[in-house]
Structure 1
């Protein structure tokens, strides 16, 4: 691809030189800039701090960018935020390297080679936006001509608060059911447990500032998960005031290094540890009497091995505790768990007792490590149920639901859906959600959730049909989904792919159109909300700089341009719909893409900035007098969280916190009835072992592992990088230079970590080049010996292995030689099927050989 790639990066060297000159002219000690003044050097730096935000991970922190002569030169936390204050994380600073990266896609490009494949040169050539939209509109009109609009799809990765325009409403108007998000390669199994115990399908907040005891389970808050900026700051305060911190993780994580106790559970065995801890809490009589209830005569009858009469226990705000004991917990002793999960029984007992005694000012902070496993759904329930046992649910110092900001819905598309659109948009979605083997039980509904990684198989099998036209944005499923070779084959099979991203990527290689995207932090209006510290904030930013290249906002500008082209070809519905996005202040309808962007943000956030809407939203938080005041401040903070409002008022079938999940029973029975079978058969199809009533309580399941122990002796641990902006940081030199900030990793390279005892047994030494072989593939990387890893496991950090993305991300960009290797190349496409989540943890084995 050497020639076409030269065309693709045309002007890169010149842009890099000019960029360097521009920065050199104003070079100062930028780390000391505060409110525009350089304290150490002295001279005034002429510039302005402007509010913005970061979508580099799911923390979605509020930021400020320092703008000098129309150029962003520094980024910092927005101290007005009540969820992270003025505290920052390392990721945000990489955004500046991203926006000015000379390897960005600079203008629309079209494919000239009709053949698609890893070894095919796409032959991209530059075109105008007018030609690009004309090509895309022709493809959509062809679908409409043939009554095949359901074969159109929108794929979404990261997004902003206005994503509904492109992601939901555009495909409906065209006539397709296919809006496919990245959610199930993110954390759906993590949401499964909280939903089927307390009716909450979302990420939790954690009141760490008022807690006395934290168990970080399968999560590394100092590295990943939500609100890294907040936790990086507050963890030091927790340690100072004597809060006990425990980390449960097979690897020695950033958080484990700051914890009092590290419990290196065997990968996949989280359910054994969780049920054993619940057993201890009950046999020791340490459950929360206020939240859970008590035996009517006050005598504790939870005795190892003995069943309990349900009539003897009176529950307060929970349901089914005694059922849970009788069905699962009575025999789950710490001694039993030690043999299964690899954590000694005394530690299990001590941590369980300390945790319960600290309750309700105690919490289990749960991440995906404990549940994004093939049999992880019940792990998710068991881990979260510990919060219920000690009464920390919706309690100070415990785990909270948080709240979403009061945003206004965008105009409905219904009136602009013709008969074809109404009919075709009701067809089965391409990801096979709701199939017998993919219940995807989001919000209790069969097929309610997405099964992102299954799309590749569906395309290859043409089941439920052949997908022909895809508009994808802010995603790179060819890199971020396990068993990547399936995605390469699937994208090669798709007739037409338009890919809207900032950087050429592995998915872009199979595209027919490259549509260069704005950078959310600087070049477009953006808005996003997140919760932490018992608050919610919403940040918003204007366009802070002129777009560096000829790029468009995928969520507003591209729909408008596409709408205009479709209207020229006789289909006016999309453009007519977009003209209903009227300015809330003036009533004017948009006449161009930038007006649509502005009005969409104003409509969506109107309950935040318009005093006339405050009465409708109740407990409002920050108040503004106008849109202008809101956009200038750039951030809204909610009112403080109100605790205990959910006690006996939970959106479950019983209204209680369910240790016996009537909510899950209803969902499973509904899915079974849909497929004319039994719940037992559904669970077997989904690779679970439970039968009968056990299916409705949190319980232990032996992990389902891909690869036999004899052929693949090491459990594989996928780890997150503290510098990865969701797999998009690798073309930043700062990412590569500071890559060793991930414990045990190396700069400008890639490695797999192994316990020295295992290496000695295999005759391997530190620094050896090794092959990592799984049942679905192999990669070559560097071996690093790492004592902070339990024997029998190997750990590799996700984030390297790009053969696209740019000259820094790849070892040789022109020849498609990656820097390091991608974990997903060797991970099988497996699922936690009850939630639809992709399995990343506790589900795979590998073997290591010298390369």
Structure 2
């Protein structure tokens, strides 16, 4: 979503989706997890939009929590979302429903898009998506009636099938045709808050996501003594593809990676093809794990640096780009337990021992934070009282135009419907549909998602949260369950087409999902025995994701090309109930 946004708008989306929820009058969610994740502020804004009467359309193979609030649920065939988006673009252009003034003023490439869209009729899309052509037309017309206060939010997890940058380009192009980018009720222009860095000498190399040399911007030149990025040249985008750092650990190409420091990332629940990851860890000379829990991957480490929890530490200031930019302080509520240390202390102590004192001139985190805040006219003492500093933003195009500034940092200085840069690099300048990998006979496509109770695979050892949700279930359509002779609530194994078996996991028979797929909540199926509560409960979707398809533009690993069959005969796990474990702990 970030790569597509940069090459369409010249701006990032950022961690906090810049959607003007409360001002929207028509919202179309495509595979969006809102209501089933832990983003509380966003959910409140979404709920307020519905309270104010916004109409909601949900496109999802599964009848999600959001779908239960919608006036239309479109149970799309998995992997065909781009075809639906292209058909909506076709209707808006063919029926002259797009925002003509906005498109003329702020975009380039409309003529090429109009020609390109001729073939993407609703009838063409119906055969692919299994959504009726008349429904496709009706939604496009409803969007147009509500423009510019009609919006298609991008979502957070958007790497699905391998065509993901182009699918997100189609999402952004559709929003531009509705005239909503930088307009109330659509996308606001998120502005980061003003916050100075702590004064220190310049870094010889700006860090990239995942580290491993190379600059975050993917610069061609690297300073003397530094290696180029290990994934350099694989993808058009300059972002680091984290899973592609595993291969050099195994093959030594383009150079061997011999050491890994893993901070707060559950490797066996976040990187596909877990057996390959384990082989890579076994080949390292040094593996250091920094975590708050004894996750399974932590037990593979040569050195474990236990971190204290978020309630026991200061973290760096959080600077959030938003409609009203803000700075947040996380401060300790209690002293750290046992032999644990905050992340800032671990980083500083390692730096000092490596002779990097000039980059850590501060003596403690309070001095570091206070210095940064003093540079903007505040102080740590003030932030302790307030918790948050709110600054003024420039959320709409009119705010930028009053200052005679252009928010679009694209080559053309406008929203690029047609990307000449993509064309020059041999990439499709306009999104086009490519079919997903077909489902093998006797298998189901594996879909996955979130629960509002847990944060990814990090909180399944929390007593309070596990009493609310102790395991995941496999969603299977009721008719498919009848065919397979399944009973609601029985335990089964899931086995993928590579022969990897996972579970046991409880069956949930429901009509809230299409018949060609199954669904798991992510984050369960922990194998680390040190996790007294989480161990052995539910199934890990990541363990079943042995195949991934790389997006050629962004390098994102698409995980919805994995297929599973249901294997009967699994016994109910012999595990104590969470409540009993909690009582034993108290005693």
TM over 0.5: yes
| Distance of aligned partners of 1:605 and 1:336 in 2 relative to their CA distance in 1, 3 Å threshold | farther
> Equivalent of 2:22, from 185, 204, 209?
209
Match of 1:697 in 2: 430
* Contact map agreement 1:802 1:809 (CA 8 A) in 2: no
Match of 2:227 in 1: 427
Alignment of 1:550-561 (within 5 A): 550-554=339-343, 556-561=344-349
> Equivalent of 1:234, from 24, 45, 60?
45
* Contact map agreement 1:803 1:809 (CA 8 A) in 2: no
Q: Does 1:838 align with 2:557?
A: yes
CA separation in 2, counterparts of 1:838 and 1:560? Answer: 33
Match of 1:822 in 2: 540
* Contact map agreement 2:82 2:170 (CA 8 A) in 1: yes
Query: CA shift at 1:369, angstroms?
Result: 5.6
* Contact map agreement 2:33 2:449 (CA 8 A) in 1: no
> Equivalent of 2:301, from 488, 502, 511?
511
* Contact map agreement 1:428 1:464 (CA 8 A) in 2: no
CA separation in 2, counterparts of 1:664 and 1:553? Answer: 44
- The residue matched to 1:365 in structure 2 has which SS? coil
CA separation in 1, counterparts of 2:109 and 2:41? Answer: 36
Could you list the per-position Cα deviations for residues 367-389 of structure 1 after superposition, in whole angstroms to 9, with x for gaps in the alignment?
25654321222111111211100
| Distance of aligned partners of 1:260 and 1:773 in 2 relative to their CA distance in 1, 3 Å threshold | same
CA separation in 2, counterparts of 1:283 and 1:658? Answer: 20
CA separation in 1, counterparts of 2:203 and 2:120? Answer: 57
Query: CA shift at 1:664, angstroms?
Result: 3.0
- The residue matched to 2:566 in structure 1 has which SS? strand
Match of 1:535 in 2: 324
| Distance of aligned partners of 1:369 and 1:471 in 2 relative to their CA distance in 1, 3 Å threshold | closer
* Contact map agreement 2:5 2:172 (CA 8 A) in 1: yes
Q: Does 1:735 align with 2:465?
A: yes
* Contact map agreement 2:148 2:178 (CA 8 A) in 1: yes
Could you list the per-position Cα deviations for residues 445-470 of structure 1 after superposition, in whole angstroms to 9, with x for gaps in the alignment?
xxx10111122222111112222222
- The residue matched to 1:214 in structure 2 has which SS? strand
Q: Does 1:654 align with 2:412?
A: yes
CA separation in 2, counterparts of 1:340 and 1:697? Answer: 19
* Contact map agreement 1:730 1:808 (CA 8 A) in 2: no
Query: CA shift at 1:255, angstroms?
Result: 1.1
Query: CA shift at 1:716, angstroms?
Result: 1.4
Query: CA shift at 1:565, angstroms?
Result: 3.2
- The residue matched to 1:254 in structure 2 has which SS? coil
Match of 2:178 in 1: 390
Could you list the per-position Cα deviations for residues 163-206 of structure 1 after superposition, in whole angstroms to 9, with x for gaps in the alignment?
xxxxxxxxxxxxxxxxxxxxxxxxxxx22322221112333311
CA separation in 2, counterparts of 1:356 and 1:785? Answer: 38
Q: Does 1:485 align with 2:275?
A: yes
CA separation in 1, counterparts of 2:86 and 2:271? Answer: 31
Could you list the per-position Cα deviations for residues 563-621 of structure 1 after superposition, in whole angstroms to 9, with x for gaps in the alignment?
4434xxxxx3x123322x4xxxxxxxx3xxxx2x223323444454x2xxxxxxxxxxx
Query: CA shift at 1:325, angstroms?
Result: 2.1
| Distance of aligned partners of 1:521 and 1:838 in 2 relative to their CA distance in 1, 3 Å threshold | farther
| Distance of aligned partners of 1:414 and 1:253 in 2 relative to their CA distance in 1, 3 Å threshold | same
CA separation in 2, counterparts of 1:239 and 1:370? Answer: 24
Match of 1:405 in 2: 193
Query: CA shift at 1:425, angstroms?
Result: 5.2
CA separation in 1, counterparts of 2:136 and 2:457? Answer: 35
> Equivalent of 1:762, from 470, 473, 484?
484
- The residue matched to 1:290 in structure 2 has which SS? helix
CA separation in 1, counterparts of 2:350 and 2:164? Answer: 42
| Distance of aligned partners of 1:425 and 1:633 in 2 relative to their CA distance in 1, 3 Å threshold | farther
- The residue matched to 1:541 in structure 2 has which SS? coil
CA separation in 2, counterparts of 1:410 and 1:491? Answer: 35
| Distance of aligned partners of 1:726 and 1:536 in 2 relative to their CA distance in 1, 3 Å threshold | farther
| Distance of aligned partners of 1:246 and 1:415 in 2 relative to their CA distance in 1, 3 Å threshold | closer
* Contact map agreement 1:773 1:826 (CA 8 A) in 2: yes
- The residue matched to 2:524 in structure 1 has which SS? coil
Match of 2:384 in 1: 631
| Distance of aligned partners of 1:543 and 1:713 in 2 relative to their CA distance in 1, 3 Å threshold | closer
Query: CA shift at 1:243, angstroms?
Result: 0.9
CA separation in 1, counterparts of 2:371 and 2:112? Answer: 49
Match of 1:578 in 2: 360
| Distance of aligned partners of 1:507 and 1:829 in 2 relative to their CA distance in 1, 3 Å threshold | farther
Q: Does 1:601 align with 2:320?
A: no
| Distance of aligned partners of 1:536 and 1:259 in 2 relative to their CA distance in 1, 3 Å threshold | farther
Q: Does 1:197 align with 2:4?
A: no
RMSD: 2.4
Match of 1:150 in 2: none
Match of 1:642 in 2: 395
CA separation in 1, counterparts of 2:246 and 2:463? Answer: 32
Could you list the per-position Cα deviations for residues 192-237 of structure 1 after superposition, in whole angstroms to 9, with x for gaps in the alignment?
3222211123333111111111111221222237xx2123323343
| Distance of aligned partners of 1:656 and 1:207 in 2 relative to their CA distance in 1, 3 Å threshold | same
- The residue matched to 2:278 in structure 1 has which SS? helix
Larger Rg: 1
| Distance of aligned partners of 1:638 and 1:367 in 2 relative to their CA distance in 1, 3 Å threshold | same
Q: Which runs of 5+ in 1 are unaligned?
A: 1-189, 293-314, 442-447, 567-571, 582-589, 611-623, 670-678, 684-694, 740-747, 812-817
Match of 2:444 in 1: 714
* Contact map agreement 2:477 2:514 (CA 8 A) in 1: yes
Query: CA shift at 1:649, angstroms?
Result: 4.4
* Contact map agreement 2:352 2:360 (CA 8 A) in 1: no
* Contact map agreement 2:23 2:49 (CA 8 A) in 1: no
* Contact map agreement 2:257 2:284 (CA 8 A) in 1: yes
CA separation in 1, counterparts of 2:224 and 2:486? Answer: 58
Could you list the per-position Cα deviations for residues 293-350 of structure 1 after superposition, in whole angstroms to 9, with x for gaps in the alignment?
xxxxxxxxxxxxxxxxxxxxxx3211111201213x1011111111101212122111
Q: Which moved more, 1:772-781 or 1:316-325?
A: 772-781
CA separation in 1, counterparts of 2:132 and 2:87? Answer: 11
* Contact map agreement 2:447 2:517 (CA 8 A) in 1: yes
CA separation in 2, counterparts of 1:423 and 1:230? Answer: 42
CA separation in 2, counterparts of 1:282 and 1:319? Answer: 15
CA separation in 1, counterparts of 2:493 and 2:310? Answer: 38
| Distance of aligned partners of 1:749 and 1:401 in 2 relative to their CA distance in 1, 3 Å threshold | same
CA separation in 1, counterparts of 2:95 and 2:162? Answer: 32
Could you list the per-position Cα deviations for residues 798-851 of structure 1 after superposition, in whole angstroms to 9, with x for gaps in the alignment?
01011227444444xxxxxx222211111123322311212133x332222323
> Equivalent of 2:507, from 783, 791, 805?
783
CA separation in 2, counterparts of 1:479 and 1:265? Answer: 27
